[in-house]
Amino acid sequence: MTSREQTMKNIPLLLIGCGGVGRQLLQHIVSCRSIHAKQKLHLRVVGICDSKMLLVSLDVFTMELDDAFLLEVCQAKLKGSSLLTLSNSGQHQVFSNPESMGKIIHIAALLARSTGLIVIDCSASSDTTGVLTRVAELGCCVVMANKKPLSSSMEDYEKLLACPRRIRHESTVGAGLPVIASLNRMLSSGDLVHRIVGSLSGTLGFVMSEVEDGKPFSQVVRSAKNLGYTEPDPRDDLSGMDVARKALILARLLGRRIVLNDIKVESLYPEEMGPNTMSIASFLENGLPLLDKGIQERVEKASSNGNVLRYVCLIDELRCEVGIQELPKNTPLGRLRGSDNVLEISSRCYNQQPLVIQGAGAGNDTTAAGVLADVFDVQDLFH
Amino acid sequence: MTSREQTMKNIPLLLIGCGGVGRQLLQHIVSCRSIHAKQKLHLRVVGICDSKMLLVSLDVFTMELDDAFLLEVCQAKLKGSSLLTLSNSGQHQVFSNPESMGKIIHIAALLARSTGLIVIDCSASSDTTGVLTRVAELGCCVVMANKKPLSSSMEDYEKLLACPRRIRHESTVGAGLPVIASLNRMLSSGDLVHRIVGSLSGTLGFVMSEVEDGKPFSQVVRSAKNLGYTEPDPRDDLSGMDVARKALILARLLGRRIVLNDIKVESLYPEEMGPNTMSIASFLENGLPLLDKGIQERVEKASSNGNVLRYVCLIDELRCEVGIQELPKNTPLGRLRGSDNVLEISSRCYNQQPLVIQGAGAGNDTTAAGVLADVFDVQDLFH
């Protein structure tokens, strides 16, 4: 036993999902080595999984994928290569799908009885719910940036959250903004949350503050796309479904037993301009401009009331909805500019004025930092 | 063993300090019983200590001060009675000072080896540092609303924080606002904090936003006192020393090895109007009005630059200072009205726009809720 092993808490991690966030997380883990060492913590990456395969250290009890290899993974994935290009270095075993998920559960079962294991989901897949639930049942911890496992059926949700302290998911809402951590602190100390209003899409935040300045909606959406703020198909943002998923996660955190379909979602384009009937190019060129007048009229009406329009989620005792709201200019939400996220939380303790949390709500760096902060918090559960 | 004991995690607590926050905490603990039971947690209060004595359950391994008794303590303390009036009910042992602190260490030593113990400091005393350090060394956890143990010498601070995960102190800065928790998340995930600017005194926040409206400083301070916003002697707020203590706690969290004396503190009254030379009445009547003109001129000068004055703490790579700053109107700090606290944190992840946390930064309810949230977080360390 080396001296590090004698004094360090050695926590195994397994990462599912090697996209932008997953790669950034691996880099953060490597660059935080000395910070974690000061806290007597060593994060030992025992496995990495993408949609095609799983790489696992040769002995999950004692060995890890070393830092040089983790950085090599980041580089390879950055170039768009699969993990396969790295699979011959001899320091790890390789499992292809569909074998991967079974193997992860096997590793979790082995490690749950000794050091514990933190399984991290940085994928965007809805197929991970089963494996995450199983590893949590086995006594492992789960950290998610992936919203899907938390926004499926109520039955799946309750199974996954059976031991809520083992499950962390800060980066599913507002990237690394301390939203979930703060809400959990309020809930665990009995502060009754009455109302959450939030702008949880940097894209739609940008769009709404630009149209407020009088720019046509179509032009704003096109520049958002050119700036890389939107998904490849901007309708994925404009549909509001991504915000609805975040609203669902927040509402369930407050104890609401609802599903995605229960949320009233306002789409910023009509059904007849949807992806099934219109190509992206045609939507941008022919569809979008038809929406300018309607949005402009709403902006002007709001303005004549001294208000502004924001695309928000609104959760209170009665409602859980997502869409455009007319809000007073003179509030954190009303003043929001650009792509920051902002959340106003009203509760017993924050009743005169809401608790406001505001800042960058997107980006791989901050999203991965939120995941790593969750990892650091949840490792307290292991000894 | 009852069925609750079989399934519940049973965590002993010992409370030092039975003022407004301590009493409110006991009430929160009682009213959160069902919330905590859902998370399979039972908080077992084994001891309560005020400046005169310590009450301890008859057997710290198995017995607790029951809820009816805790509420009785709140009532008695509310009426200004000491714990002594309750000391004959026969369900607990009584220890008077100076015996109390030794007894707390004895209990910590006993429980550290079995269930663990969380010692909570809701006092305002600087005499608790030793006992808190000792119980942490023994393996217990410490939760503080008391700023004093964190603002003494660097040597004491480092001893107390030797195992930082065992020490939580959200409610030392901004009451229950999730400031320390959020900063700790940033630090543990390697997000480098460049700069913190914050309005951390509800009293001075109120004063600065009122003088901005053209009201004379003396009048504003007097109404703040009448509204109950200030300490009995308003100079305790105006000196800036309370803000300086909070700034010190934040700076040390960022790794700065400094003491209170290293912080440049601007007092809002001159030395010759201090408590040693002027009574409270004389300060309010004769001293304060002499300060009106100076403040008014500064307000007007700032206003002519399109700025406002705020009494803030400012921490960056070079500075740690507390005083009036001229700030742009169009920032969360510049827009601050009334007694809310607000913190702007700039870091690698929050570089374009700061992370902003804003809300009520005072009040027994939110301060005690912050303490209880810390208790809930830190109990993860015990099994």
What ipTM does this complex have?
0.94
Let me know if residue B132 belongs to a domain. Answer: yes
Tokens for A378, please give them: 């949840």
Give me the sheet containing B9-16, strands edge to edge.
Answer: B92-96, B53-57, B41-49, B9-16, B118-121, B141-144, B167-168
Residue B311 to chain A, least CA–CA distance (Å):
20
Residue A178: helix, strand or coil by DSSP? Answer: coil
Q: Name the β-bridge partners of A311.
A: A324
Provide the 8-state DSSP code for A287.
I
Q: Which residues of B are catalytic?
A: 246
User: What's the pLDDT at B71?
Assistant: 93
Q: Mark residue A308 as left, alpha or beta (left: phi above 0; alpha: psi -120 to 50; beta: remaining).
A: beta
User: What's the pLDDT at B4?
Assistant: 42
Q: Please enumerate in sequence order all residues whose Cβ is within 8 A of that of A155, keeping only pairs 6 or more positions apart, or say none.
A: none
**CB-based contact A165 B338, cutoff 8 Å:** no
Tokens for A200, please give them: 């949880």
pLDDT of A129 over the 70 cut: yes
User: What's the pLDDT at A82?
Assistant: 74
Are A360 and A177 within 8 A, CB to CB?
A: yes
pLDDT of B89 over the 70 cut: no
Q: Are residues B224 and B328 in the same domain?
A: yes
User: What's the pLDDT at B203?
Assistant: 93
CA A83 to chain centre: 23
User: What's the pLDDT at B141?
Assistant: 98
Let me know if residue A109 belongs to a domain. Answer: yes
pLDDT of A380 over the 90 cut: yes
A196 vs A216: CA distance, rounded Å: 30
Q: Are residues A325 and A263 in the same domain?
A: yes
Measured between its terminal Cα atoms, the distance across chain A in Å is 17
User: What's the pLDDT at A3?
Assistant: 42
Give pLDDT tens digits for A235-268: 999 999 999 999 999 999 999 999 999 999 999 9
Residue B42: helix, strand or coil by DSSP? Answer: strand
Q: Summarize the confidence of residues A153-176 as an average pLDDT.
A: 96
Instruction: Give me the percent of chain B exceeding a pLDDT of 90.
Output: 86
Burial (Cβ within 10 Å: 0-12, 13-18, ≥19) of residue A226: exposed
Mutation choice for A interface testing from B168, B192, B343, B349 by most A CBs within 10 A? B349
A295 vs A131: CA distance, rounded Å: 44
User: What's the pLDDT at B82?
Assistant: 75
Are A315 and A254 within 8 A, CB to CB?
A: yes
Q: Are residues A240 and A300 in the same domain?
A: yes
Give pLDDT tens digits for B154-192: 999 999 999 999 999 999 999 999 999 999 999 999 999
Domain of A297?
A: 184-360
Q: Are residues A192 and A69 in the same domain?
A: no
Name the pLDDT band for A140 (thresholds 50, 70, 90).
Answer: very high
Q: Are residues B202 and B318 in the same domain?
A: yes
B70 vs B31: CA distance, rounded Å: 11
The angle formed by the CA atoms of residues A63, A66 and A69, to the nearest 5 degrees, is 135
pLDDT of B242 over the 60 cut: yes
What is the average pLDDT value for chain A, to the nearest integer?
A: 93
B126 and A CB contact within 8 Å = no
Give pLDDT tens digits for A334-344: 999 888 999 99
Are A259 and A248 within 8 A, CB to CB?
A: yes
Let me know if residue A56 belongs to a domain. Answer: yes
Helix intervals (H) in A171-320: 179-188, 202-212, 217-226, 235-238, 241-253, 280-282, 292-304
Q: Are residues B17 and B36 in the same domain?
A: yes
Q: Tell me which amino acid residue A18 is.
A: C
User: What's the pLDDT at B5?
Assistant: 43
Chain A nearest-CA residue for B374? A185
Tokens for A243, please give them: 């915000």
Q: Summarize the confidence of residues A260-280 as an average pLDDT.
A: 96
Tokens for B14, please give them: 């010992």
Q: Are residues A142 and A217 in the same domain?
A: no
User: What's the pLDDT at A88?
Assistant: 57
CATH of residue A49's domain is 3.40.50.720
A67 vs B21: CA distance, rounded Å: 47
B45 vs B22: CA distance, rounded Å: 12
User: What's the pLDDT at B229?
Assistant: 86
Q: Which residue has the higher pLDDT, A365 or B7?
A: A365
Let me know if residue A19 belongs to a domain. Answer: yes
Q: Please enumerate in sequence order all residues whose Cβ is within 8 A of that of B270, keeping only pairs 6 or more positions apart, or say none.
A: none
B92 vs A164: CA distance, rounded Å: 35
Chain B nearest-CA residue for A352? B360
Give pLDDT tens digits for A85-114: 775 567 789 998 889 999 999 999 999 988
User: What's the pLDDT at B3?
Assistant: 42
Q: Are residues B148 and B204 in the same domain?
A: no
A26 and B CB contact within 8 Å = no
A349 vs A328: CA distance, rounded Å: 23
Q: Are residues B160 and B198 in the same domain?
A: no
User: What's the pLDDT at B88?
Assistant: 58
Burial (Cβ within 10 Å: 0-12, 13-18, ≥19) of residue A336: buried
The angle formed by the CA atoms of residues A323, A324 and A329, to the nearest 5 degrees, is 140
Q: Are residues B54 and B146 in the same domain?
A: yes
Instruction: Give me the percent of chain A exceeding a pLDDT of 90.
Output: 86
A161 vs A345: CA distance, rounded Å: 23
Tokens for B129, please give them: 């540092």
B340 CB neighbours in chain A (<8 A) are 353
Let me know if residue B4 belongs to a domain. Answer: no
Instruction: Give me the percent of chain B exceeding a pLDDT of 70.
Output: 97
Tokens for B361, please give them: 């930064």
Measured between its terminal Cα atoms, the distance across chain B in Å is 18
Give pLDDT tens digits for B274-286: 999 999 999 999 9
What is the average pLDDT value for chain B, to the nearest integer?
A: 93
CATH of residue B336's domain is 3.30.360.10
Are B140 and B119 within 8 A, CB to CB?
A: yes
Name the pTM for this structure: 0.95
**CB-based contact B177 A355, cutoff 8 Å:** yes
Helix intervals (H) in A88-128: 99-112
Are A352 and B361 within 8 A, CB to CB?
A: no
Give pLDDT tens digits for B313-338: 999 999 999 999 999 998 999 999 88
Provide the 8-state DSSP code for A285.
I
Residue A359 to chain B, least CA–CA distance (Å):
5
Marked catalytic residue, from A148, A246, A264, A301: A246
A44 and B CB contact within 8 Å = no
Among A164, A335, A349, the residue with its CB nearest the CB of B366 is A349
Q: Are residues A131 and A213 in the same domain?
A: no
A355 and B CB contact within 8 Å = yes
Give pLDDT tens digits for A10-19: 999 999 999 9
Q: Are residues A48 and A197 in the same domain?
A: no
The angle formed by the CA atoms of residues B185, B190 and B196, to the nearest 5 degrees, is 65
Q: How many residues does chain A have?
A: 383
Provide the 8-state DSSP code for A303.
H
Q: Please enumerate in sequence order all residues whose Cβ is within 8 A of that of B45, keeping only pairs 6 or more positions apart, or say none.
A: B12, B13, B14, B15, B26, B29, B57, B64, B65, B70
**CB-based contact B189 A381, cutoff 8 Å:** no
Among A165, A335, A358, the residue with its CB nearest the CB of B39 is A165
B12 vs B59: CA distance, rounded Å: 12
**CB-based contact B353 A360, cutoff 8 Å:** yes
A363 and B CB contact within 8 Å = yes
A313 vs A240: CA distance, rounded Å: 10
A381 CB neighbours in chain B (<8 A) are 380
Residue A113: helix, strand or coil by DSSP? Answer: coil
Let me know if residue A3 belongs to a domain. Answer: no
Q: Which residue has the higher pLDDT, A301 or A84?
A: A301
Let me know if residue A317 belongs to a domain. Answer: yes
**Which residue from A376, A383, A382 is spatially nearest to A143, judged by alpha carbons?**
A376
**CB-based contact A358 B356, cutoff 8 Å:** yes
Q: Please enumerate in sequence order all residues whose Cβ is within 8 A of that of A225, keeping only pairs 6 or more positions apart, or say none.
A: A234, A284
Among A170, A188, A349, the residue with its CB nearest the CB of B360 is A349
Q: Summarize the confidence of residues A55-72 as an average pLDDT.
A: 92
Give me the sheet containing A320-328, strands edge to edge.
Answer: A264-265, A320-328, A307-316, A193-199, A340-347, A355-360, B355-360, B340-347, B193-199, B307-316, B320-328, B264-265
Tokens for B160, please give them: 């107390």
Q: Domain total for chain B?
A: 2
Angle between helices A67-78 and A20-31 (to 10 degrees): 150
Let me know if residue B96 belongs to a domain. Answer: yes
User: What's the pLDDT at B250?
Assistant: 98
Which value, to the nearest 10 degrees, does the dihedral of the CA atoms of residues B362, B364, B365, B369 take?
90
Tokens for A287, please give them: 């569809």
Burial (Cβ within 10 Å: 0-12, 13-18, ≥19) of residue A186: buried
Q: Work out whether strand B141-144 and strand B118-121 pair parallel, antiparallel, or are unpaired.
A: parallel
